[in-house]
Amino acid sequence: MLFSRNRRALWFGAALLVAIVLVGFAHASIFRSVATFLIVEDPLEPAAAIVVLGGHLPFREMEAARLYSAGLAPKVVLVRGARREEWKALQDLRIEVKEGWELSREVLIRQGVPPSAILVPEEEAEGTLEESQVAARALKPENLPVILVTSKYHTRRAHLTWNYVTEGRSKAIVRAADQDPFDPTRWWRERRFVLSVVREYLGLVNYYAGFPVGAGG
């Protein structure tokens, strides 16, 4: 019964989002508000670690390296992405392709982060919830803040998800990558950002419904 209610909540959220988009086509200010709601940025302070959430390579990694160089945390955490069927098929064909975390690690090292400061847990994850769970298990940051580096449109959900996973015992300090190309004043003009915003709102609905649909993106 609970799952059914959560499903209905998710579909209601999706329908509401579609309605907002349709209305927003006539009002740019509505579109700007839709995007700016997704963006949060917390004041920086020393933290137990910097966690780089997967996606938008290399911008998030470059921001994490900058924060590490500023002395804000002693380590940077990368979470392995789930190996999909495409990667496995390439392996069967004996075509070597670097995994996302390997590329992320290389960017960090080239940006001045020593290999000894990079933590890569063995667990794989798919989506923000699983990434947060893996990072929290690896760090055990009881009563210590953690810096989460992600894209602008993903900051609010990243903050909420970390608090959910740690039950508020670890403070989330969310920072957007400085070179993130997302522009909240014109995002609706680019298909990639339209898809990102829609996905974020669906992810928020999934969060508030208690994650009935998988781990979320």
Q: Are 203 and 216 in contact (CB under 8 A)?
A: yes
Look up residue 4 and give its two tokens: 């059914």
Question: At 51, is the secondary structure helix, strand, or coil?
Answer: strand
- Per-residue pLDDT tens digits for 47-88: 999 999 998 899 999 999 999 999 999 999 999 988 777 767
The pLDDT-based confidence of 30 (bands split at 50, 70, 90) is: confident
Q: Are 173 and 145 in contact (CB under 8 A)?
A: yes
Residue ranges and CATH numbers for the domains of the chain are 1-39+184-217 (no CATH), 41-182 (3.40.50.620)
Distance of CA 68 to the CA centre of its chain: 18
How many Cβ atoms from other residues are within 10 Å of residue 138's Cβ? 18
Quick one: which of 104, 122, 121 has its CA closest to 113? 104
Q: Are 172 and 49 in contact (CB under 8 A)?
A: no
DSSP 172: E
Cα distance between residue 10 and residue 27, in whole Å: 25
Cα distance between residue 197 and residue 91, in whole Å: 33
| Helices and strands in the chain: count of H runs, count of E runs | 8, 7
Q: Mean pLDDT, the chain, as a whole number?
A: 88
Quick one: which of 54, 43, 45 has its CA closest to 77? 54
Q: What is the pTM of this model?
A: 0.84
Bridge partner residues of 146 (DSSP): 172
Look up residue 145 and give its two tokens: 């803040």
Distance of CA 186 to the CA centre of its chain: 21
Token pair 């963006």 is at which residue?
39
pLDDT: is 91 or 153 the higher one? 153
Please state the rounded mean pLDDT for residues 188-195. Answer: 91
Cα distance between residue 127 and residue 97, in whole Å: 21
Report pLDDT for 2.
Answer: 47
Report pLDDT for 7.
Answer: 63
